[in-house]
């Protein structure tokens, strides 16, 4: 008879509890059944695992077996959890990782349509930056990603939206007052207020941004936080106009043309894993 996982589980509980009686209570088995399982393990190992019949002290070999048993049990439990998660995913779980602007502007409508079509499917949404979206999809911790960059290696990407980028500033602030004088919109306006950096700033091919980013002392990646900072008068930032569409209070948007700059949203998924039927249905709705 070979060493079985159940033998290691029983041995581990006995070693941790220090007696057959307590281990039997934890395992929900009779002491004789637990003793028999230990005997089978020791027969396979070929040496004693406990110093005495009381099972309260391990031999050096027993200590080694306990360590290896812990590793084997943990590895098995992780694999079993992964299998259960995939089974659940096939039955009705979709995990989406998206950049904040997509979470605010794009996903609510998609989720509403999807939930109407498939009310029993559970959705898990992660609001993260582009690099984390790629990583979660790569590690199979998200079925679908939505990001502001091309797909990474081993990922399929489809563009779903193209938005013009511009300056988001506070109504009544320096940029807003200057715009009121009919100044031609320009990235130079960012020199009038502190820049609040976010990843989209790096998509603007302007010498103004190139000069401001190295000296910027405030950065945020969450759209809600960015808009709150702008409203509070802490500076201006770069976002698509859609980012302020649901909460335009005290905010203004201007799109400079020197040069025009764009943000492309893409949906991605891994090439080495098939989307579940539910995930495929959600994928098809994004950008539809």
Which residue, of 63, 89, 115, is where some domain finishes?
Answer: 89
**24 & 73 share domain:** yes
**43 & 97 share domain:** no
Please indicate whether residue 53 or residue 190 has the higher confidence score (pLDDT).
Answer: 190
DSSP H or E run through 163: strand 155-170
**pLDDT tens for residues 67-77?**
999 999 998 98
**pLDDT tens for residues 229-247?**
999 999 999 999 888 877 7
**67 & 183 share domain:** no
Least confident of 81-95, 126-140, 160-174, 267-281: 81-95
**182 & 249 share domain:** yes
- Domain of 176? 164-262
pLDDT band at 20 (very low <50, low <70, confident <90, very high): confident
pLDDT surpassing 80 at residue 137: yes
pLDDT surpassing 80 at residue 90: no
**189 & 218 share domain:** yes
Which residue, of 89, 116, 141, is where some domain finishes?
Answer: 89
Please indicate whether residue 228 or residue 288 has the higher confidence score (pLDDT).
Answer: 228
Which residue, of 71, 89, 107, is where some domain finishes?
Answer: 89
**pLDDT tens for residues 25-68?**
998 999 899 889 998 998 888 888 988 877 888 999 989 999 99
pLDDT surpassing 90 at residue 205: yes
Total-model pTM: 0.61
Number of compact structural domains in the chain: 3
What is the C-alpha to C-alpha distance for residues 264 and 150, in angstroms, rounded to an integer?
Answer: 9
**172 & 249 share domain:** yes
What is the C-alpha to C-alpha distance for residues 167 and 161, in angstroms, rounded to an integer?
Answer: 19
CA distances from 156 to 44, 107, 143, 228 (A): 49, 19, 12, 34
Q: What is the CA radius of gyration of the chain?
A: 29
pLDDT for 54 equals: 79
With b for 16 or more beta-carbon neighbours within 10 A and e for fewer, the 158-177 pattern comes to eebbebebbbbbbeebbbbe
**250 φψ region: left (φ > 0), alpha (ψ -120 to 50), beta (else):** left
pLDDT for 272 equals: 79
Sign of CA dihedral 184, 186, 191, 195: positive
pLDDT surpassing 60 at residue 161: yes
pLDDT for 193 equals: 97
At 206, which CATH number?
3.40.190.10
């Amino acid at each position: 008879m070979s060493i079985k996982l159940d033998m290691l589980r029983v041995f581990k509980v006995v070693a941790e509890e220090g007696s057959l009686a307590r281990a039997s209570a934890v395992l929900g088995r009779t002491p004789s059944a637990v003793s028999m399982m230990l005997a089978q393990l020791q027969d396979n190992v070929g040496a004693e695992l406990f110093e005495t019949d009381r099972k309260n002290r391990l031999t050096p070999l027993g200590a080694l077996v306990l360590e290896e048993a812990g590793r084997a049990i943990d590895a098995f439990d992780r694999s079993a959890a992964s299998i259960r998660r995939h089974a659940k995913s096939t039955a009705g779980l979709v995990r989406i990782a998206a950049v904040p602007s997509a979470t605010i502007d794009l996903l609510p409508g998609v989720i509403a349509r999807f939930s109407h079509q498939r009310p029993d499917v559970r959705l898990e949404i992660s609001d993260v930056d582009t690099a984390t979206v790629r990583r979660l999809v790569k590690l199979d911790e998200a079925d679908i990603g939505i990001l502001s960059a091309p797909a990474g290696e081993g990922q399929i990407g489809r563009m779903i939206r193209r938005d013009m980028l511009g300056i988001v500033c506070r109504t009544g602030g320096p940029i807003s007052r200057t715009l009121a004088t009919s100044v031609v919109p320009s990235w130079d306006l960012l020199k009038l207020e502190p820049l609040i950096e976010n990843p989209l700033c790096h998509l603007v091919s302007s010498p103004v941004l190139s000069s401001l980013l190295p000296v910027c002392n405030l950065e945020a990646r969450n759209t809600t936080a960015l808009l709150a900072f702008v409203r509070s008068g802490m500076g201006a930032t770069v976002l698509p106009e859609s980012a302020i569409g649901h909460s335009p209070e005290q905010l203004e948007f201007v799109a400079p043309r020197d040069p025009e700059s764009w943000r492309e949203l893409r949906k991605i998924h891994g090439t080495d894993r098939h989307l579940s039927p539910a995930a495929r249905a959600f994928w098809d709705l994004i950008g539809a």
